[in-house]
Amino acid sequence: MPDFITPYLIATLVKTAVLAGALMTTLAYLQWIERKVIAHVQVRMGPSRVGPHGLMQPLADVIKLITKEGVIPADVNVFFYVLAPFLAVFMSLISISVIPFGPPVTVFGYTTNLSLADPNVGILFVLAISSMGVYGVALAGWSSNNKYSLLGGLRSSAQMISYELPMSLAIAAPLLMAGSLSLREIVNSQGGYSFGVLPKWAIFSGPFPQFFSFIIFMISAFAETNRVPFDLPEAENELVAGFHTEYSSMKFASFFMSEYSNMVTICCITTVLFLGGWHPLWPAALGSNFVAPALFALAGALCFLHGLNPARPLDRFTLPVFGLVFFGLAGVFLVPIVVTMFMPVFWFVAKTGFLLFVFIWIRATLPRFRYDQLMSFAWKFLFPVALLNLLLTALMVSLVQ
Amino acid sequence: MEIFFFLLFAIVALACALNVVLQKHPISSALSLVGVMVSLAVLYLMLGAEFIAMAQVVVYAGAVMVLFIFVIMLLNAGAETRKGGSITAQVLGIPALLAFFAALVFLITTYYPGLSPVKFGDFTGGGAREIGMKLFSSYLLPFEVTSVLILIAIVGAIVLARKELD
Amino acid sequence: MQNLWIIPALPLLGFLVNGIFGRKMPKLMVSLTAVLSVVLSFAYVLFVLSSAKSLDQPAVEHYFTWIQSGAFNVGFDYQVDKLTAIMLLVVTGIGSLIHIYSTGYMAHEEGYWRFFAYLNLFMFFMLNLVLAANYLLVFVGWEGVGLCSYLLIGFYFTKKSATDAGNKAFIVNRIGDFGVALAMFLIFITFKSLDFHKVFALAPGKPVATLTAIALLLLVGAAGKSAQLPLYVWLPDAMEGPTPVSALIHAATMVTAGVYLCARSSVIFVHSPAAMDTVAMVGLATAVFAAVIGLAQNDIKKVFAYSTVSQLGYMFLGVGVGAFSAGVWHLVTHAFFKALLFLGAGSVIHACHGEQDMRQMGGLRKYAPVTFATLGCASLAIAGFPFTSGFYSKDAILVAAHAHAPWMFWVAVFTAGMTAFYVWRAYFMTFFGKYRGHGHPHESPVSMTGPLVILAALSLAGGFLFNVPEILGKMFQVEAEGAEAATLTYISVAFGLAGIGLAYFLYVVNSALPDKIASSLGGLYTLVYNKFFVDELYDVTVVQPTVNGSRTLLWRGIEHYVIDGVVRGVGANALNIGGVLKHLQSGNIRSYATWVVIGGAVLLILMGVGGFAFAGGVR
Amino acid sequence: MDLNALVHGVPVSWYLVLSAMLFAIGAAGFVLRRNIITVFMCIELMLNAVNLTFIAFSHELKSVHGHIFTFFVMVVAAAEAAVGLAIILTVFKNRSTLNIDEVSTLKN
């Protein structure tokens, strides 16, 4: 074996492969989940044709988008037109590499972090990458040589720049309490429980609970990811489809991919900064380890229940299968080795998943802002409040020390 | 290892820098400049300047250059026109530049050949904590003055931009 | 940390609020902001002093490094020790009273907010001055109070005499400030530091000549700020400002900054006997000189102004003979009774509808009883009536002076008699006899009489309530206070009583006599009445030559022929050269850039040829 | 150049030469380009080159002061970009050209 193949290299490659696979699957199925959730909010069925419960829908979408003709309109700046979706996807995927999903684990005697990288300035890295995300959108808008696209691009750049400020300020407050820029350190600083039960997450405890910061961060996150109610760059009724009007096929899909990937990343960051990362909601001594099996078992039981009274004929077969899968998962999460290794990951994923659900939920609920409202909201309300919150936090932190 | 990454990003930086100067269209120049800045950020990382590397990306690539692109889009600036001109620049420009560059390289190679080699991890004093400590102790006054400067710049930019409206 | 910065910060806050928003705020808010900021500051001073463990050693608080340049390192440091504590109490205490008084006195004036903004700014700088822990920070306060003094003297800026007086104060003070600046340079060269504790620790080992030079330069500054000979001329004119300003700045606090500086630098002074003697002589001469002028003044504020100059001379005498604590004691008691005198004078002027000439007053004791009573207390105190505050402090100085040189005692005690005479002359002219002015005099509002009463109590009892020498203890290295000599006390009291009696005889019993005496003295009276023509003398010897010299020599001579000639010559040649060079100034940025690059290349090549002298400095 | 030495790391002088090259390219752009925005970008390029020198020397001296200086350069550059671009907007509005050679009079 050549000497450059170190355990570190192997571990990194494996982690990269696992993470990339998991992330891509998540992105694909996030679309499905979103459609399903919105459908249920609106009392509809949602996708249900391809596969059981429409589970194969993402696959079908991908095949459709790949096989479609990739039209390159006549008067576009070809280089930038092609570059823009790549930039967007690249910038949205790369920041997942610094997210810590769990505490260090030991596999075959080799201890490794459950994250691809752990730079000392992790959160700055995330900010840096997210600030670069503007380019994809702005370039797409400009290179399309279409005034709606250009407007969409300009709008989205302005929006992202504006909301980056309150977001950075909201991030700074929990950083003050953690005293580090490394995401792993930030999560570690939120471990433990006050009074034995209340977790020391930034949102709950510390010298100044970061509740406002959390809210500000979430609002900015909606704007940064161009989600409803801040989805002005792609406001259909005003701008056709915004900056990606002229895009088709896989290039079009990559913008969606980047949007969902941004969502996932930002939910991970929220979990790390405010919700204590992989730390469970209550101590393991009080049985938090049984949450995962209980949840899966509950899901399995529900599947069986619905399988007994099927709404559609096919459900009679599919739902019990899902039920068995869930029961299996519940069983897996009772195995001690899995508990020690993956229970933190479960908690992390659970929190992130909940936040993603909030994103979808809000999309199904709220109307869109007007552009001037959006801007004045960022500059005249969010920014001062974030600043005030930062000042208060700094004051409290310095008083406590 | 270091030599590989250095050469990679140095070449990228140089290529992008040349592109900045050679491209006709300002938006191509701007994006090439972003490339220079990001490669420089990587070089900073190799030199142990973690914080500055990130600040480089956030401030330069993420803010300043976005502003440039914004203005280019806003003015819909096209490829440059060739009208009027400076005879001085055309006649003396290239020789002067070459002389300047040659003198600079000569000085560097003559007087700084024996500096210690850069190895990743040699210098770890460039984190946010160290810079923050220095910034808020020895450099407090410059820091505060800089904040005033930024305030002035904001006011100035707004005044100039408002004039543009009426 | 006792967070001393809060003390000056509060008035600064008041200044900012009033200065920025005062124009738009209702008067009540303005006065509330101003008064509250100072009163809170006073309260915080009390809190600091009560919570301080020991004030024997100055507790230095370092906030941040202000200037750092090579070996020159000045921090923004405050310190509090006993001397500072006393000054703090005086400044904030009297300041609070005068702020309250001003709300009544200034109630009907234009620029009400401006007045209070300036007054708060003054408080900030004064507190900065007494709290500072190094000379440079003292100098900031020193210049700041000078600025506020200028602003407040010229408060009625539509009046030419007021703005002139402001300019005069500012210019005369510049001479003193120049001395302080030179002293600071010398201190830094000698001690490599401006911090008090470092300077004072090193002072004993330095050559006497250097210390003498520093002390004398400091004395120049102190003489400017504290209106000593020969720089006293600005203070009487400073009475053009509103009366509360005269009381606060030109009687109680700012003018004592010079005394404070000398007392603060006592370590330097005691090592230089020559400087000490100079201080004593300057003080004594000023005391006598001002007292003589005070004898013949008719403007009530001018009388008190000259008495201030005279009393400041006393303080310098005390400092000069080595009785630093006696000097500071007199500073404190003087702050009480002179603030009271001025506030009382203000009340009198208020009562007489702005009249300041004592010949237009009289018989006011019926109309303004509270002013009458309180001003009486102040007059007793300044005359050194037994057991009033002035008695103790003046006595301490006199005893020290006697121990130093008996003749100084005799001159000083004679001056004390004169002081008693002219203050009581003013008192009798104002309150006794018949009212000689116009309109109906009236008593002032409570906001004005209230502070008067408090200050009257302090004037009477302040002497033994605040036994400064006892408080200061071993603060100063050398205390030359002689043994308590009862005889000396009797003599000084006798002189004081004689002065009062003479005033009573001349201005109440036989009020026609003074005019006869004046006319019989003839030229001498004219001389004194015109303040020895010092202003005219300065005008002829300093001001006119400066102005004329500037006009004839600098303007017509140097400026017109030499500089203009050079400029024209250059201009003419430049035109020719420019004809050639104008092609460089094409207005084309790229050409400019090319020239910059060429310049850079030439510079680099020269550096290479020159061997790159600083190459060795890298490591 | 001893190639074996390169295994131990990159000589600092390489960084300096790279910085000199970037600076020279930036200067060339400044002198040769006509578009005012491009010229402005070349200024940023030169600033970046200088920053690299600061960081390189900071590594050589093992001190953080060079980083601080770079930090200030960045902040000033950001302020400069804001004002400069505002000026460019005004110039464009007044003369409707971005050619630096046409903006060569100080009159009106």
Domains and CATH numbers, chain D: 3-95 (1.10.287.3510)
Mean pLDDT over the full length of chain C: 83
- Interfacial B residues in 125-154 facing D (CB < 8 Å): 125-126, 130-131, 134-135, 139, 142, 146, 149-150, 152-154
Q: What is the pLDDT of residue D46?
A: 92
Q: Choose the CATH number for B1-80 among 1.20.120.1200, 2.60.40.60, 3.40.250.10, 3.40.50.10540.
A: 1.20.120.1200
Q: Specify the 3-state DSSP secondary structure of C62.
A: strand
Chains with ≥3 CB–CB distances under 8 Å to B: A, C, D
pLDDT in tens, C181-209: 999 999 998 888 888 888 888 888 888 88
pTM of model > 0.80: no
A261 has pLDDT over 80: yes
Range of the domain at C262: 1-270
**Is C617 a residue whose pLDDT tops 60?**
no
Task: Please judge whether B108 and D65 are an interchain contact, meaning their C-beta atoms are less than 8 angstroms apart.
Answer: no
Confidence of residue B39 (pLDDT cuts 50, 70, 90): very high
Residues on chain C touching D106 (C-beta within 8 angstroms): 587
Is B touching D (3+ C-beta pairs, cut-off 8 A)? yes
Average pLDDT rounded to a whole number, residues A350-355: 91
ipTM of the prediction: 0.72
Mean pLDDT of A309-335: 83
Q: Does C63 touch chain B (CB under 8 A)?
A: no
Shared-domain flag, residues C141 and C175: yes
Kindly tell me if the per-residue pLDDT of C609 is higher than 80.
Answer: no
Same-domain status, C318 and C389: yes
Q: pLDDT of B74-111, one tens digit each?
A: 887 666 666 555 666 677 778 888 888 888 888 887 77
CA dist list (Å): A165 to B37, B58, C113, C348:
21, 12, 39, 62
Q: Which of C103, C194, B159, B63 is nearest to D87 (CA)?
A: B159
Tens of pLDDT along C252-304? Answer: 888 888 889 988 888 888 888 888 888 999 999 999 888 888 888 888 888 88
Q: Do B86 and C604 make contact, defined as CB atoms within 8 angstroms?
A: no
Convert A171-196 to b/e letters by CB count within 10 Å (16 or more is b): bbbbbbbbebbbbbbbbbbbeebeee
Q: Is the pLDDT of residue A236 over 50?
A: yes
Q: What is the percentage of chain A residues whose pLDDT exceeds 90?
A: 8
C580 interfaces chain D, CB cutoff of 8 Å: no
Q: Cα Rg for chain B, rounded, in angstroms?
A: 20
How many domains, chain C? 4
Task: Provide the H-helix boundaries in C79-159.
Answer: 82-105, 112-131, 135-153
Cβ contacts from B onto C, under 8 A: 59
**Cβ of B50 and A157 within 8 Å?**
no
Band (D47; pLDDT cuts 50, 70, 90): very high
Q: Which of A66-80, C21-35, C355-369, D67-81 ranks highest by mean pLDDT?
A: D67-81
- List the single range of C9-18, C32-41, C407-416, C465-474 with lowest mean pLDDT: C465-474
Cβ atoms of residues A206 and A200 within 8 Å: yes
Same domain, C456 and C559: no
| Inter-helix orientation angle A249-274/A134-143, to 10° | 160
Range of the domain at A358: 69-279+335-400
CB contact under 8 A, C593 and D100: no
Query: Are C537 and C525 in the same domain?
Result: no
- What's the average model confidence in pLDDT over D56-69? 88
How close is the nearest chain B Cα to the Cα of D73, in Å? 10
Tell me the pLDDT band of B15, cut-offs 50, 70 and 90: very high
Domain boundaries, chain B: 1-80, 136-166
For residue B87, which residues of chain C lie inside 8 Å, CB to CB? 591
Query: A153 or A23, which is more confident?
Result: A23
**D65, D104, D105, D106: best to mutate for the C interface, most C CBs within 10 A:** D104
If pLDDT is split at 50, 70 and 90, which confidence band does B12 have?
very high
Neighbours of chain C (3+ CB pairs under 8 A): B, D
Output the pLDDT for position C478.
54
C484 and C536 share a domain?
no
Please compute the mean of the pLDDT values over residues C247-252 and round it to a whole number: 82
Write the CA distances from A46 to A41, A64, D75, integer angstroms.
10, 19, 51
Q: Both C241 and C153 in a single domain?
A: yes
For the cut 90, the answer to whether the pLDDT of residue A48 exceeds it is no
Residues C416 and C478 both lie in one domain: yes
Q: Which residues of chain B are within 8 Å of residue A153 when distances are taken between CB atoms?
A: 73
**What pLDDT shows up at residue C485?**
66
Closest Cα in chain B to D16: B108
* pLDDT of the residue at A200: 83
pLDDT above 50: residue A82: yes
Sign of the Cα pseudo-torsion (C571, C577, C582, C584, in order):
negative
Q: Please tell me the distance from the alpha carbon of residue C337 to that of residue C460, in angstroms, as a whole number.
A: 9
Query: What is the distance between the terminal CA atoms of chain B, rounded to a whole angstrom?
Result: 57
- Which has the minimum average pLDDT: A114-118, C218-222, C542-546? C542-546
Same domain, C279 and C231: no
Residue A233 per-residue DSSP state: G
Residue A356 within any structural domain of the chain: yes
Q: State how far the Cα of B79 lies from the Cα of D33, in Å rounded to an integer.
A: 11
pLDDT per residue as tens digits for the range B124-165: 777 888 888 888 888 888 888 999 999 999 898 888 877 545
Q: What is the mean pLDDT of residues C135-164?
A: 88
Task: Examine the pLDDT at A184 and tell me if it is beyond 60.
Answer: yes
Q: What share of chain C is helix, strand, coil (3-state, %, to 5)?
A: 75, 5, 20
| Confidence at residue C51, expressed as pLDDT on a 0 to 100 scale | 82
Residue A202 to residue A206: CA distance in whole angstroms: 6
CA dist., res. A245 & res. A153, Å (int): 11
Question: Could you say which residues from 46 to 65 on chain D have a Cβ atom under 8 Å away from some Cβ of chain B?
Answer: 48, 51-52, 55-56, 58-60, 62-65
CB < 8 Å to C605, chain B: 99, 103
Same domain? C73 vs C155: yes
What mean pLDDT do residues C578-600 have? 74
Per DSSP, C369 falls in state H
Q: What band does D106 get if pLDDT is binned at 50, 70 and 90?
A: low
What's the confidence (pLDDT) of residue A352?
92
Greatest CA span in chain B, whole angstroms? 60
Q: What is the mean pLDDT of residues C478-483?
A: 52
- Amino acid A354: pLDDT: 92
Is A98 in the B-facing interface, judged by CB distances under 8 Å? no
CB pairs under 8 A between B and D: 255
pLDDT digits (tens, 9 = 90+) for C39-52: 999 999 888 888 87
3-state helix, strand, coil in chain D (%, to 5): 80, 5, 20
pLDDT at A1 over 60: no
Domain count, chain A: 1
Choose from B32, B45, B56, B73 for mutation: most chain A CBs within 10 A: B73
The least confident of A241-255, C41-55, C274-288, C539-553 is: C539-553
Q: What is the pLDDT of residue B163?
A: 57
Shared domain check, C454 and C373: yes
Q: Which of residues 6-65 of B touch D (CB under 8 A)?
A: 6, 10, 13-14, 17-18, 20-21, 26, 29-30, 33, 36-37, 40, 43-44, 46-49, 51-52, 55-56, 59-60, 63-64
Is B86's CB within 8 Å of C590's CB?
yes
**Higher pLDDT pick, D99 / C171:** C171
Residue A238, pLDDT above cutoff 70: no
Of C529, C553, C570, which marks where a domain is finished?
C529
pLDDT band of B114, cuts 50, 70, 90: low
Domain's final residue, options C237, C270, C303: C270
Overall average pLDDT of the C231-253 stretch = 84
Res C543: pLDDT:
74
Q: Please, which residues 88-107 of chain D have a Cβ atom closer than 8 Å to chain B?
A: 88-90, 92-93, 97-99, 101-102, 104
Give the range among B147-151, C38-42, C96-100, C470-474 with minimum mean pLDDT: C470-474
